[in-house]
């Protein structure tokens, strides 16, 4: 879909956590003792798990539906039924305009239709020409259309909510003149001064009443350019919103095709995520981060990458068999964070040994030792390189 100049960033989640971790596993053990000391090794029971690859999207919660309702007919406002902050349902009355002239137009249109029908009947009785009969029928069709428009105009004299939600703005008041043909006017005297006695008391306005939904939301977000081609409509997402403790779920509904520039000047693509279900604790305008699942693999057998060792191009683990440690050859697959897939050599339920770490020596403070590196001079594994299928300790790909 898009060509990328940079490699993709990947985030891998392991769900659910089904490896039974022995106490102390994965913790860097530190000591203030000046002498070197080896941390005890631990064991883990191997089990299958579900792997998820995700893409992060940052954005803002927004109302799923909004409406700016206004009159489709012209007239003088006779009633405004809502105030800002009111909750309305779809179809509720928002305001009305004077319908006297509209009703009169409807009555005239009905009379015109009756007259057209009568004319056709009379011409049939008088054996009128085919041309006349055709003209009479055309008049009836036109009169019916005019009556339908007049009836609709009378209905439109009552402004109704097109969505359910909260009224956020009321742009009209009683006495205002609304509609495309409305205008406020004042006559002028011969001296050129405005004659207040003949000035209209109405105000020309579009007559808009704004409503936003309060229980249905979307996340208007952006993703990095290198991640955009992994997204498509229908992908599931977990959403973390400011001020909301529980995880909210959603579905990608739209992925933009045109890049934007974020505050840092980097290229990003817009994405819209529809929040699942009705939400009472969300509010439009708050910040949100979505974790979009772009890949999911079931029943993956993994071990901690530290359990793997490589000798002469072969990869091994130390497996516990009947209480004894047995060096076992394995074949590995893709690396996921700090774990690596094992495709051959282990089965679910096997127990493997996780080696400990040798502590550094010297009289320096513990804090200084931590800053300089891991025990034994090792460096922190670069986790960002583990999700892209790169070489892992022990030969994982």
Q: Could you tell me what percent of the chain has a pLDDT over 90?
A: 54
Q: Which of 305, 307, 316 is nearest to 344 (CA)?
A: 316
Q: How much is the pLDDT for 206?
A: 60
pTM over 0.95: no
Q: What is the rounded distance in angstroms from the CA atom of residue 249 to the CA atom of residue 247?
A: 7
Q: How much is the pLDDT for 39?
A: 61
- Residue, of 196 and 344, whose pLDDT is higher: 344
Q: How far is CA 83 from CA 92, 94, 316, in A?
A: 13, 9, 73
Q: What is the rounded distance in angstroms from the CA atom of residue 203 to the CA atom of residue 201?
A: 7
Joined together, the tokens standing for residue 275 give 């929040």
Residue 44 bridge partners (DSSP): 21, 352
Comparing 27-31, 169-173, 289-293, 353-357, the range with the smallest average pLDDT is 27-31
- Residue, of 45 and 147, whose pLDDT is higher: 147
Res. 24: pLDDT tops 90:
no
Contact 303, 249 (CB under 8 A): no
Contact 25, 42 (CB under 8 A): yes
Joined together, the tokens standing for residue 356 give 């400990």
As to burial, measured by CB atoms within 10 angstroms (0-12 exposed, 13-18 middle, 19+ buried), residue 211 is buried
Q: How much is the pLDDT for 8?
A: 44
Q: What is the rounded distance in angstroms from the CA atom of residue 240 to the CA atom of residue 350?
A: 36
pLDDT digits (tens, 9 = 90+) for 216-244: 899 999 999 999 999 999 999 999 998 88
Contact 76, 202 (CB under 8 A): yes
Q: How much is the pLDDT for 376?
A: 37
Sheet holding 93-97, edge to edge: 158-160, 93-97, 75-80, 177-178, 204-205
Res. 123: pLDDT tops 60:
yes
Mean pLDDT, to the nearest integer, of 260-275? 92
Max Cα separation, the chain? Answer: 125
Res. 173: pLDDT tops 80:
yes
pLDDT digits (tens, 9 = 90+) for 359-390: 555 544 444 333 333 333 334 344 344 344 43
- Residue, of 88 and 31, whose pLDDT is higher: 88
The average confidence (pLDDT) of the chain is: 78
**pLDDT-derived band at 358, boundaries 50, 70, 90:** low
**pLDDT-derived band at 22, boundaries 50, 70, 90:** very low
Q: How much is the pLDDT for 379?
A: 40
Measured at the alpha carbon of residue 344, what is the angle toward residues 338 and 349, in degrees to the nearest 5?
70
Contact 395, 345 (CB under 8 A): no
Contact 76, 183 (CB under 8 A): no
Contact 376, 360 (CB under 8 A): yes
Q: How far is CA 200 from CA 177, 191, 352, in A?
A: 10, 19, 90
Q: How much is the pLDDT for 179?
A: 75
Q: How much is the pLDDT for 370?
A: 38
Res. 88: pLDDT tops 70:
yes
């Amino acid at each position: 879909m898009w060509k990328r100049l940079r490699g993709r960033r990947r985030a891998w989640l392991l769900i659910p956590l089904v490896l039974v971790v022995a106490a102390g596993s994965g913790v860097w053990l530190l000591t203030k003792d000046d002498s070197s000391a080896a941390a005890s090794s631990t064991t883990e029971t191997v089990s299958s798990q579900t792997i998820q690859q995700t893409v992060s999207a940052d954005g803002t919660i927004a109302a799923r539906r909004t409406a700016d309702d206004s009159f489709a007919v012209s007239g003088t406002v006779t009633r405004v039924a809502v105030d800002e902050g009111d909750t309305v349902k779809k179809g509720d009355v928002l305001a009305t305009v004077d319908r006297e002239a509209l009703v009169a137009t409807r009555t005239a249109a009905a009379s015109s239709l009756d007259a057209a029908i009568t004319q056709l009947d009379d011409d049939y009785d008088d054996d009128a020409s085919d041309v006349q009969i055709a003209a009479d029928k055309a008049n009836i069709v036109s009169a019916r259309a005019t009556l339908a428009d007049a009836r609709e105009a009378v209905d439109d004299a009552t402004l109704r909510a097109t969505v359910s939600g909260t009224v956020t703005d009321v742009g009209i008041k009683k006495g205002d003149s609304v509609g495309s043909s409305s205008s406020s006017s004042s006559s002028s005297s011969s001296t050129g001064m405005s004659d207040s006695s003949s000035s209209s008391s109405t105000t020309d306005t579009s007559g808009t009443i704004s409503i936003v939904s309060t229980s249905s939301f979307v996340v208007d977000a952006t993703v990095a350019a290198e991640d955009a081609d992994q997204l498509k409509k229908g992908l599931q997402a977990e959403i973390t919103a400011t001020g909301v403790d529980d995880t909210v779920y959603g579905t990608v509904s739209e992925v933009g095709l045109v890049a934007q520039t974020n505050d840092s000047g980097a290229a990003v693509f817009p994405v819209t995520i529809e929040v699942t279900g009705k939400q009472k604790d969300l509010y439009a305008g708050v910040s949100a981060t979505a974790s979009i699942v772009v890949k999911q693999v079931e029943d993956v057998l993994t071990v901690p990458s530290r359990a793997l060792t490589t000798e002469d191009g072969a990869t091994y683990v130390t497996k516990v068999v009947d209480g004894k440690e047995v060096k076992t050859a394995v074949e590995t697959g893709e690396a996921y964070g700090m774990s690596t897939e094992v495709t051959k050599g282990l089965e679910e339920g096997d127990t493997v040994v996780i080696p400990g770490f040798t502590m550094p020596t010297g009289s320096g403070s513990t804090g200084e030792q931590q800053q300089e590196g891991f025990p034994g001079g090792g460096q922190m594994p670069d986790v960002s390189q583990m999700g892209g299928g790169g070489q892992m300790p022990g030969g994982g790909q």
